[in-house]
């Protein structure tokens, strides 16, 4: 990914606040969302859906400023929404309408002429793996197929930005994998920027280039996923056996060590990461144990999330 | 629009042989019709849905049956005017002003079916959120829906009286001269507009209060009939006849009579036109207000 300073953000929020009545939902939200696939991560009730509503211009911010493609969605909502594809969280869709008719109609709502809308609706359903099912009424479709219909409807009008609210909700593991692969394809091959709202850490970790974490209405961490995970530095070595001996040798040398199965996790700040590698090399040689893998220690998104919310 | 065309066949291959071509994703940089296009698309889809077009036969029964009920008297009257000897025609008991009296049940039934179908379905199926995630906003969405209700309702409020005018004119029993014909046409359109605006706003206000079509249909019928029964009972028991200005069933049809320069023979016919018109405007504003408040508060991204 290019350095963020060089890239015009797709979404820019500055001290955004939004509440309903006396209850604040978003507080002092400031974030730049670069192009690519961005995960909007947060527990249920953290303000993700409210933020999506603000991005769509369906509500106005109470304070601060928000821009999408450089436009204020509160004042230029129609222009912003015309360039956004949105797939809501719910699975309710008109049951008696064919998938093709539904996707075509929503493409027309986004301004496409009828002929183009029909052609692109058919293409979008094929791209989402529903080409053979496109003439089926939506009410006869499974949850996984409905999720794909929503995704097809969101991309049929060729949006610049896709907002996906819990797109894997209700899917079984294989369907979930397929959906995440499709989202990656949309973000990387189709060239559409994606904001993926989810409360599932692993699916954001697997799919997204960037992350913003919402907790209690505030952005508590945001940035490229690789940078956020770099927060935990050190070395991880995975051994065939002799884990205890290697760990003891490292402790003796003064390193902080944690054992996880056949892995030895050595904590070190970035300035001492090279020295940690040397120490692991020496300990492994001393104990004469075979090494399976050796790599820098990177925090999982779960660790990032827990660290940020602590 | 950029379209990826099929690649040329490899040299030496059979040009007629079938090949699978992955077109990939196509970008679109062609015409976008903006808010106007979105409003037209919502209107067209709503009209089609209400009339049961592109849907199974059972969805066509109610609109078709009520349309037949509303046109039947007009067909009978035109037939009678065409077939009866001229000396009997003036004795026939029909006119434009009274026509709605024959089809009030059909109108109320029609609107109680059409409006919930057009309005409640979008909320219940989540389509409202998908619509409002496009260029259209809440106000224009409601205007498109109101236009759709009005368009469909016009088939029973405007169609039969227009048929009467055309039929009577062809049967040589129509208004006198071009001026008379145009005057009658203007009254027909004005009367239909009054009934349309009244029932469109009333039925949309009631339908905005529930997501369930059956409840909305029952609510529309009950609102109209119960208000009429209550105010008429109160007036019969000695209260002011001005209470009839709140007769949601009788008021629009009495206004229709006034448009044709006539008055009803019952108690509401004794009221003067000005307060009746003011009451009608105020009640329509109330219906619009209920609708606006309800939709302004709706959360659509859940």
Q: What is the pLDDT of residues B9-48, one digit of tens each?
A: 555 556 556 665 566 788 898 989 889 999 999 999 999 9
A21 touches B: beta carbon within 8 Å: no
pLDDT value at position B229? Answer: 95
Mutation site, B135, B141, B213, B300, interface A, largest A CB count within 10 A: B135
Please answer yes or no on whether A78 and B55 come within 8 Å at the CB atom: no
B22 touches A: beta carbon within 8 Å: no
pLDDT value at position B151? Answer: 96
The pLDDT-based confidence of B2 (bands split at 50, 70, 90) is very low
A191 touches B: beta carbon within 8 Å: yes
pLDDT value at position A22? Answer: 81
**In chain B, what percentage of residues exceed pLDDT 90?**
65
**Backbone dihedral region for residue B204 (phi beyond 0: left; psi -120 to 50: alpha; all else: beta):** alpha
A245 touches B: beta carbon within 8 Å: no
A139 touches B: beta carbon within 8 Å: no
pLDDT tens digits, chain A, 310 residues: what are they?
A: 444 446 789 999 999 999 988 889 999 999 999 999 999 998 888 889 899 999 999 889 999 999 999 999 999 999 999 999 999 988 889 998 999 999 999 999 999 999 999 999 999 999 898 889 999 999 999 999 999 999 999 999 999 999 999 999 888 888 889 899 999 999 999 889 999 998 888 888 889 999 999 988 899 889 888 787 766 678 999 999 999 999 999 999 999 998 988 999 898 887 888 899 999 999 999 999 999 989 888 777 777 777 777 6
**Sheet hosting strand A63-68, strand order edge to edge:** A23-33, A11-20, A63-68
The label of the residue with tokens 């700040």 reads: A269
Residue A293 and residue A290: Cα distance in Å, rounded? Answer: 10
Among the ranges given (A267-276, B65-74, B98-107, B161-170), the one the predictor scored with the smallest mean pLDDT: A267-276
pLDDT average, residue stretch B76-102: 81
Please answer yes or no on whether A82 and B34 come within 8 Å at the CB atom: yes
A110 touches B: beta carbon within 8 Å: yes
Q: Which chain A positions have a beta carbon within 8 Å of B38's beta carbon?
A: 108-111
The pLDDT-based confidence of B80 (bands split at 50, 70, 90) is confident
Of A92, A110, A116, nearest to B135 by CB-CB distance is: A110
Please answer yes or no on whether B33 and A112 come within 8 Å at the CB atom: yes
Interface of B with A in 114-133 (CB under 8 A): 121, 124-127, 129-133
A62 touches B: beta carbon within 8 Å: no
Residue A67 and residue A8: Cα distance in Å, rounded? Answer: 11
Answer with the residue of higher pLDDT: B56 or B39. Answer: B39
Please answer yes or no on whether A52 and B132 come within 8 Å at the CB atom: no
Residue A201 and residue A87: Cα distance in Å, rounded? Answer: 20
Q: In this structure, are residues B220 and B108 in contact, taking their beta carbons and an 8 Å threshold?
A: yes
A90 touches B: beta carbon within 8 Å: yes
Please answer yes or no on whether B135 and A49 come within 8 Å at the CB atom: no
A157 touches B: beta carbon within 8 Å: yes
Q: Which residues contact B123 (CB under 8 A, 6 or more apart)?
A: B211, B298
B37 touches A: beta carbon within 8 Å: yes
Please answer yes or no on whether A108 and B37 come within 8 Å at the CB atom: yes
φ and ψ at residue A130, rounded to 5 degrees: -120, 25
Q: Which chain B positions have a beta carbon within 8 Å of A49's beta carbon?
A: 301-302
pLDDT value at position B1? Answer: 40
Answer with the residue of higher pLDDT: A304 or B103. Answer: B103
pLDDT value at position B13? Answer: 55
Angle at A287 between CA A282 and CA A290, to 5 degrees: 90
Of B38, B126, B137, nearest to A109 by CB-CB distance is: B38
pTM for the model stands at: 0.84
How many contacts (CB atoms, under 8 Å) link A and B? 112
pLDDT value at position B273? Answer: 93
Give the β-pairing of A193-198 and A210-215.
Answer: unpaired
The pLDDT-based confidence of B3 (bands split at 50, 70, 90) is very low
Query: pLDDT of B174-192, one tens digit each?
Result: 788 889 999 999 999 999 9
- Comparing alpha-carbon positions, the chain A residue that sits nearest to B25 is A190
pLDDT value at position B298? Answer: 85
pLDDT value at position B10? Answer: 54
The label of the residue with tokens 């990461």 reads: A273
Q: Enter the tokens of residue A122.
A: 């058919």
Answer with the residue of higher pLDDT: B80 or B118. Answer: B118
Written as one string, the DSSP assignment of B22-52 is ---PPP--S---HHHHHHHHHHHHHHHHHHT
B296 touches A: beta carbon within 8 Å: no
pLDDT average, residue stretch B79-86: 82
Q: In this structure, are residues A54 and A73 in contact, taking their beta carbons and an 8 Å threshold?
A: yes
């Amino acid at each position: 990914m290019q350095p963020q300073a060089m890239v015009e953000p797709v979404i820019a929020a500055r001290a955004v606040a939004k509440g309903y009545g006396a209850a604040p939902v978003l507080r002092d939200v400031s974030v730049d969302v670069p192009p690519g696939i961005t995960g909007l991560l947060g527990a249920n009730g953290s303000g993700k859906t409210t933020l999506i509503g603000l991005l769509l211009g369906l509500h106005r911010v109470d304070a601060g400023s928000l821009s999408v493609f450089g436009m204020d969605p509160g004042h230029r909502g129609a222009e912003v929404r015309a360039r956004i594809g949105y797939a809501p969280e719910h699975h309710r869709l008109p049951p008696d309408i064919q998938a093709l008719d539904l996707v075509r109609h929503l493409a027309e709502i986004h301004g496409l002429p009828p002929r183009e809308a029909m052609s692109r609706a058919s293409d979008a359903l094929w791209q989402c793996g529903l080409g053979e099912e496109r003439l089926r009424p939506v009410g006869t479709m499974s949850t996984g197929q409905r999720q794909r219909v929503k995704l097809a409807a969101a991309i049929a009008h060729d949006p610049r930005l896709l907002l996906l609210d819990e797109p894997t909700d209700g899917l079984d593991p294989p369907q979930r994998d397929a959906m995440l692969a499709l989202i990656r394809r949309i973000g990387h091959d189709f060239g559409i920027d994606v904001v993926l709202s989810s409360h599932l850490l692993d699916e954001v970790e697997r799919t997204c280039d960037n992350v913003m974490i919402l907790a209690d209405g505030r952005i508590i961490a945001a940035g490229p996923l690789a940078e956020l995970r770099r927060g935990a530095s050190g070395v991880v070595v995975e051994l065939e056996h002799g884990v205890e001996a290697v760990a003891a040798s490292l402790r003796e040398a003064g390193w902080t060590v944690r054992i996880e199965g056949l892995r030895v996790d050595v904590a070190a700040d970035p300035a001492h990461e090279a020295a940690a590698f040397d120490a692991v090399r020496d300990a492994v040689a001393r104990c004469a144990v075979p090494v399976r893998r050796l790599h820098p220690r990177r925090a999982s998104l779960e660790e990032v999330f827990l660290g940020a919310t602590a | 629009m950029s379209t990826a065309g099929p690649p040329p066949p490899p040299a030496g291959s059979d040009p007629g042989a079938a090949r699978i071509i992955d077109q990939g994703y196509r970008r679109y940089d062609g015409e976008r019709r903006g808010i106007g296009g979105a409003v037209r698309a919502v209107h067209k889809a709503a009209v089609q849905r209400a009339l049961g077009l592109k849907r199974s036969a059972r969805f066509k029964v109610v609109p078709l049956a009520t349309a037949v009920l509303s046109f039947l008297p007009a067909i009978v009257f035109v037939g009678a005017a065409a077939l009866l000897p001229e000396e009997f025609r003036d004795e026939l008991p029909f006119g434009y002003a009274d026509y709605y009296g024959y089809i009030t049940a059909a109108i109320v039934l029609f609107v109680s079916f059409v409006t919930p179908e057009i309005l409640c379905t979008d909320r219940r199926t989540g389509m409202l959120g998908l619509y409002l995630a496009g260029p259209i906003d809440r106000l224009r969405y409601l205007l498109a829906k109101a236009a759709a209700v009005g368009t469909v309702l016009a088939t029973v409020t405007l169609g039969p009286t227009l048929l009467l005018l055309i039929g009577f004119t062809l049967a040589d029993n129509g208004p006198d001269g071009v001026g008379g014909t145009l005057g009658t046409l203007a009254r027909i359109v004005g009367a239909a507009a009054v009934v349309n605006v009244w029932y469109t706003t009333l039925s949309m206000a009631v339908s905005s209060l529930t997501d369930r079509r059956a409840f909305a249909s029952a609510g529309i019928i009950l609102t109209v009939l119960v208000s009429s029964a209550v105010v008429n009972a109160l007036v019969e028991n000695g209260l002011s006849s001005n209470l009839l200005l709140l007769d949601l069933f009788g008021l629009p049809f009495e206004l229709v009579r006034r448009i044709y320069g006539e008055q009803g023979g019952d108690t509401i016919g004794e009221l003067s036109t000005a307060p009746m018109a003011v009451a009608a405007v105020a009640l329509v504003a109330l219906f619009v207000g209920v609708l606006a408040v309800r939709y302004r508060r709706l959360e659509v991204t859940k």
